[in-house]
Amino acid sequence: MKILKLFLFFIAIGLVIISFTSDSSTLGDLWSNYHINSLIGLQKFIENILILSSLNIDLWYNIILPLLKLKLLFILALFNLLLIYFIKK
């Protein structure tokens, strides 16, 4: 298991380095290419929830949009690190 964890760790490091050095696509790009209407629907849903709850938070622009701008390779690296963490010893 230690060899597998070490291998996955090096893959995660490589993915992080590649994600910051290349112009890979982002999560938002992938989602908009796959199904743009659901992305627009999510934005409308979040804005309606904030209007109904009368919160003065711009949730879409401060939280959701930065998440959508994350590069896919970086997200894969995070999932890889989570996989390493949850593999049994």
- The per-residue pLDDT for range 9-41, each reduced to its tens digit, is 898 898 888 888 878 789 999 898 889 999 999
Angle of CA points 54, 66, 74, to nearest 5°: 145
* pTM flag (> 0.75): no
Domain residue spans in the chain? 1-24+72-89, 25-70
Q: What is the pLDDT of residue 89?
A: 61
Coil, helix or strand at residue 71: strand
Contact yes or no for 60/47 (Cβ under 8 A) = yes
Q: What angle do CA 45, 47, 52 make, to 5 degrees?
A: 95
Q: What is the tens place of the pLDDT at every residue in 62-74?
A: 888 999 999 988 9
pLDDT at 51: 72
